[in-house]
Amino acid sequence: MTKLSKLTKFLDRLDDAGIHYTLTSVEEGTITVGVTLPDERWDVGFDTDGEIRVEVFRSDGEVRDGSALEALFAHAAEA
């Protein structure tokens, strides 16, 4: 299986399942598929060497008001 066919087969499966996704290039040599599900976001990276990396972000279910934006900037300043 070619490296590109891993990506295209994955995209076909997402399409067949009716799952929304976006394609981005975050790092040189990597195509990232961003998959959005209720309460989750998946970043699936396809590297030029054929490696597949998956990172899952889960929501705690809490919806915050606009005051939470200060925590965003405070966290970014610490990073």
| pLDDT (tens digit per residue) in 32-79 | 999 999 999 999 999 988 899 999 999 998 999 999 999 999 999 998
For 64-77, write each residue's pLDDT tens digit. Answer: 999 999 999 999 99
Confidence at residue 20, expressed as pLDDT on a 0 to 100 scale: 95
**Distance set, CA 38 to CA 41, 54, 56, 57, 74 (Å):** 8, 17, 12, 11, 27
Is the pLDDT at 24 greater than 90? The verdict is: yes
Confidence at residue 1, expressed as pLDDT on a 0 to 100 scale: 56
Average pLDDT, stretch 22-28? 86
pLDDT band at 3 (very low <50, low <70, confident <90, very high): low
Architecture per CATH, 3-78: Single Sheet (2.20)
